[in-house]
């Protein structure tokens, strides 16, 4: 008997809901655009989203965290704060499709960081997959062929910073519950964004506050549905569904915001996503080998 998830249809459906939620986030942020400074928009998104922390207050208050844990949560808050500011800025500078495609780089940076800082092995296949993903990033950026803007550089930084944030979360997952990890991220990022927002503060309208609250709602719903997807099916089943986020982002950019469809961006995004899917599949295979008894082992 196994404890592995065995509801692939439910996993795929929840991941479709996740994609729809995150595309809604990007659409709203794109719609609000530069009417609010990026740092202020990000701060309002997290500040208004603190209302969703109410169910997590109990586990957070009961958590017996060490000083090292607080330092790690603080470090995650710093890198995630910077990543959020850069992401909001990139959304005002480059098409939605490019933001979405370049965001696929985060798992690649997680793979590199896990090898460098957590001692995880980086086999030849993984190294080749990382190299392929970086080629995909070059296909999107095409330096020397077109202008690489500040928005592109911001997204490269976003992917690196979010990758670092996920690594710290992975480290903390064995020390605190999921509710504590998520709750501490919301609190630390809200605090971290406050001085950035204060430096560029523009009094928001009620309409802008409403849009930012919607961003918080969709983002929270997206993280929740993603958790349900991972609980229902293996990552190797749910990961390919994330490709649809790129399809929806391209369609949204073209139909709603009049952004041209760039075949090179789609190709680069597919290359990166293919690399991520390969790494995910290899990790699943290795884990299966580790838990599957050999033919001479006793099966329980």
Report the b/e string of 131-168 with b at 16+ CB within 10 A. ebbbebbebbbeeeeeeeeebbebbbbbbbbbbbbbbb
Residue 1 confidence (pLDDT) above 50: no
Residue of higher predicted confidence among 233 and 77: 77
Most confident of 55-59, 150-154, 223-227, 247-251: 150-154
Residue 266 burial (CB count, 10 A): 18
- According to DSSP H, which parts of 144-242 are helical? 150-172, 178-199, 206-232, 235-238
Predicted local distance difference test score (pLDDT) of residue 6: 64
Q: What are phi and psi of 109, to 5 degrees?
A: -65, -30
User: What pLDDT does 118 receive?
Assistant: 74
Mean pLDDT of 110-121: 80
Phi then psi dihedrals of residue 246, to 5 deg: -70, -40
> Mean pLDDT of all residues in the chain?
84
pLDDT at 161 over 70: yes
pLDDT at 66: 83
| pLDDT recorded at residue 88 | 93
Confidence tier at 61 by pLDDT (50, 70, 90): confident
Beta bridge partners of 146: 143
pLDDT confidence of residue 194: 96
Q: How far apart are CA 205 and CA 183, in angstroms?
A: 28
**Token pair in block for residue 65:** 């965290």
Which H or E element spans position 95?
A: none
Q: Mean per-residue pLDDT for 146-161?
A: 92
For residue 292, is pLDDT > 70? no
pTM over 0.85: no
């Amino acid at each position: 008997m196994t404890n592995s998830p065995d509801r692939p249809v439910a996993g795929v459906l929840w991941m479709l809901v996740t994609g729809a939620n995150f595309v809604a986030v990007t659409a709203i942020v794109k719609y609000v655009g530069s009417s609010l400074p990026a740092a202020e928009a990000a701060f309002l998104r997290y500040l208004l989203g603190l209302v969703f922390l109410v169910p997590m207050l109990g586990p957070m208050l009961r958590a017996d965290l060490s000083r090292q844990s607080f330092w790690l949560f603080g470090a995650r808050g710093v890198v995630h704060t910077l990543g959020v500011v850069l992401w909001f800025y990139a959304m005002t500078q480059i098409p939605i499709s490019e933001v979405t495609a370049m965001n696929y780089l985060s798992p690649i940076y997680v793979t590199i960081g896990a090898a460098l800082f957590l001692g995880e092995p980086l086999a030849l296949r993984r190294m080749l997959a990382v190299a392929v993903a970086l080629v995909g990033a070059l296909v999107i950026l095409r330096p020397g062929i077109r202008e690489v803007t500040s928005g592109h550089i911001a997204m490269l930084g976003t992917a690196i910073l979010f990758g670092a944030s996920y690594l710290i979360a992975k480290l903390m997952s064995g020390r605190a519950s999921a509710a504590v990890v998520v709750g501490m991220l919301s609190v630390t990022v809200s605090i971290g964004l406050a001085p950035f927002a204060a430096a560029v503060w523009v009094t928001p309208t009620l309409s802008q506050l409403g849009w930012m609250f919607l961003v918080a709602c969709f983002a929270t719903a997206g993280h929740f549905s993603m958790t349900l997807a991972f609980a229902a099916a293996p990552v190797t089943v749910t990961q390919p569904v994330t490709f649809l986020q790129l399809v929806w982002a391209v369609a949204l950019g073209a139909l709603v915001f009049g952004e041209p469809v760039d075949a090179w961006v789609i190709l680069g995004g597919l290359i990166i996503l293919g690399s991520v899917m390969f790494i995910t599949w290899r990790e699943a295979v290795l884990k299966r080998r580790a838990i599957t008894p050999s033919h001479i082992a006793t099966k329980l």
